[in-house]
Structure 1
């Protein structure tokens, strides 16, 4: 009787996601479904609580044999967060179902350019350099791709994402004409740029800092980022372009990370270790990632270091791909990048910062940070504060 009254109260009054999950864990899956459906239909749910509710609702539907409803819940999750994913420890059948929903409703893009190493923006948001693979594109949506490179005319293309496809987009940029052949509007290497990279990177207008003048225009910033086939670390550090707070632009309706902070060319501050990649820090508390370390929860969180390492291990291939790509244009690329990420109760990464780096390659660091934005760690059972994790990524040849 007590459980039935709780279900009725949750449905009529609108309980919390935690209370509905408690019903699920107590074995009352139909009651959990009724409560979660009521909660999801109601107003005033935060993004992360809505993700947690739909995450458990999908599991509950699946447990009752309602695969179509579970798929619909996962599709709604992907509309909220295009990079939503289940924990590596989740039911493999659920992970397969989510993969099927993703394939039926989402797309990707593989983008190459001549010359390689050109800056690329997606709907005005700087994503990295070519060649690059973009995912999280919602089928039926239009996307604008822009490519910039020093000494070449920028190119912009709009395409419609098609479900289940990885679009192959190739750009061949035209060299800028010499001044005596070009008109006034074509005189700069990035003439006619439609996207203001200064705004994207948080460097609006010229300013003095540390005795250096920051890039004042889009063309200046493109030149700074791409001159000489590499990146001018001193100019970028002076411009503040690598320590900016961006506004959320949104991709396919997702809630994008709006706090990517890059601080390049600084000393890496991390605990001394023969292998920098073997230590993670939970808000001041270190956890060894060596085999056999205790799976203790981080302070104030139900997540353990072991669970987080499972995701990091799963993403190792993606990190290696980024490193090897940039190694082609920067054969001396090596060093350690100290990352700080904030993991929400829903599992999404809401903030990424590079606390320190000695790689001296901001393009590499930017793409690494953008990739970490897309990582998902799975929803937790109880509402709890966001978890801040620091982790050093070490790279050597």
Structure 2
């Protein structure tokens, strides 16, 4: 259905009016037939609910938001209008309005959501990269929430095959700021979407709202790493409530970052070893694309590094320990994941081993001491 500009403006005014959420919006639109009629009736509805002096969102406010969107090249997708994501449209609390920057055509393609820990392990990051890359090769658009860790790794690996980032704040506000370059790349080669007003800085309450959109856009949600109390599990619960497939990558029982995934699998989620498991669960016919493991060569040793301060050493130790868990990781892979020269990392691995913080196993494998 094509909406004229007046109707689109009225719908934006309706959802931006005080005390009107997604469910109330849809009910008002169904009862009154048009956004203009709903706006006209809203003060009386509020008065009958005991709210005096109620006024709807002024046209000037909505006009300003639309003007701001044009500055950033954002397109307004209205529920029931052209270009609105088909799976998201089915939800009872579907966002009445979405702002989108980038390739909006991706929103009509099959999507798989990937979510996980912000402080992801080295193995978790590798798994996210591998899954996103091969899902893209399998024709799936990867959707996530642009958070640090698993989200960011999934978006980066899926740029070529197609990725959608759902923002917690305005579609012009990148959070966290460290993902600014990634967000720019997604705006150019993928798609950024948000239901929030332009310029809105995200608050804690906005992240669960974002999570429901991540789940609603996709046919399945894959949890790569998640603690027992994690926002990723909120997304998984949303997906279950929507009738979507929930899948999880298993992890070591001693690694707290995997406890949420292991709980999901215990409760019936599909166990994921690779993209083939995801595609099979969705009934997608697979085309052989070769080995989805990416082989990289470790960096050659360079010149002796300059002396570092205690703060720099402590920071590097923290980064190393964050990447390691109970499951062994190859030393050269850890060095690649840290994106640092081997000559800088190797001495600190020895120091951590002597401190008893990490354990070295046969075959050049490292794990965090438990």
Asked if Structure 1 and Structure 2 have the same fold, meaning a TM-score greater than 0.5 normalized by the shorter chain, the answer is no
Instruction: Pick the structure with more helix per residue.
Output: 2
Structure with the higher strand share, 1 or 2: 1
TM (normalized to structure 1)? 0.23
TM-score by length of 2: 0.24
